[in-house]
């Protein structure tokens, strides 16, 4: 299992680094795929995400570029003040959520995917996260269902 995780992480890292930045029509500027975004794929609130959660996010990464490039509308927006840095100074942070369908090849179902971009203060927007954009009513764990739908990589159809 650890070997599979390492393989997926390494492949995802190469893909992520190759993206660089992508112009987002809604924001009318480039969204950078930088080290902060990569770190957030693997960690949340200072703790490492589960290996399964990371593998799910890695599997969705191939759709991230296309979703950012084609997002002319935003589905979610949030602005908040967050203490940041060693001095814990309050800084305004904005988040945009872009949702699109991805997958649909090789007999796999198309799934809704959410990409989140983030801007700290007056900085440039960065890629922040990618996740399934679904809620399950049957009580089934979303990660388990998504891993069945996207066991390797989402390929744009």
Q: Judge whether residue 134 has pLDDT over 80.
A: no
Q: Judge whether residue 143 has pLDDT over 80.
A: no
What is the rounded CA–CA span in Å between residue 125 and residue 119?
A: 4
What is the rounded CA–CA span in Å between residue 121 and residue 37?
A: 16
Looking at residue 109, what is its pLDDT? Answer: 76
> What band does 110 get if pLDDT is binned at 50, 70 and 90?
confident
Q: Where are the domains of the chain?
A: 2-149
Report the range out of 40-44, 84-88, 148-152 with the highest average pLDDT: 40-44
What is the rounded CA–CA span in Å between residue 114 and residue 75?
A: 9
The dihedral sign for the CA sequence 8, 6, 65, 115: positive
Question: What are the Cα distances from residue 151, in Å, to 75, 76, 146?
Answer: 26, 27, 8
Average pLDDT, rounded, for the chain: 86
> What band does 104 get if pLDDT is binned at 50, 70 and 90?
low
pLDDT in tens, 34-78: 999 999 999 998 899 999 999 999 999 999 999 999 999 999 999
């Amino acid at each position: 299992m650890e070997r599979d995780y390492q393989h997926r992480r390494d492949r995802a890292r190469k893909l992520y680094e190759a993206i660089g930045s992508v112009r987002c029509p809604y924001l009318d500027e480039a969204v950078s795929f930088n080290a902060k975004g990569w770190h957030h794929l693997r960690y949340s609130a200072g703790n490492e995400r589960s290996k399964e959660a990371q593998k799910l996010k890695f599997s969705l990464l191939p759709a991230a570029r296309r979703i950012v490039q084609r997002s002319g509308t935003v589905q979610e927006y949030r602005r908040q003040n967050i203490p940041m840095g060693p001095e814990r100074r309050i800084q305004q942070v904005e988040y945009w959520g872009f949702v699109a369908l991805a997958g649909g090849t090789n007999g796999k179902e198309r799934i809704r995917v959410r990409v989140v971009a983030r801007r700290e203060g007056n900085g440039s927007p960065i890629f922040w996260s990618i996740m399934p954009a679904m809620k399950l009513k049957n009580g089934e764990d979303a990660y388990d269902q998504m891993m069945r739908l996207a066991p390797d990589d989402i390929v744009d159809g």
